[in-house]
Amino acid sequence: MYTLEVNLKQTPMPLSVQKKTLEDAQADYRRLSEAIAGSSGGVLELTCDQMPEKRITLLASEVVAIQIYEKSGTASSSGKAPGFFSLVGGDEGSR
């Protein structure tokens, strides 16, 4: 199982969906990357293979980071799942 994790602006917790195959995860990764690069501001929907009723709809212009990792049965040496660390300044508009 592969996890696609998405970080959004001004949102401390990432959104994630699981995909059964690497190809499916990479297809969604490319779709998100293209939307970010195009700055289209369009709406994207992601579905989860592990929980088919789980759907995430997001505004492409709000995505700041995307990650794919393979979900394994063993924990990493730090005991934490792979992820992002993000510092986003909240005072950008007041400068």
Closest CA to 4 of 57, 72, 67, 48: 67
Residue 79: per-residue pLDDT = 47
Max CA distance (Å), the chain:
46
Instruction: Note the pTM of the prediction, 2 decimals.
Output: 0.68
What are the sequence ranges of the domains in the chain? Answer: 2-73
User: pLDDT tens across 25-82, in order?
Assistant: 999 999 888 888 876 668 888 999 888 888 888 888 888 889 999 977 544 444 445 5
CA 4 – CA 69 distance, rounded (Å): 7
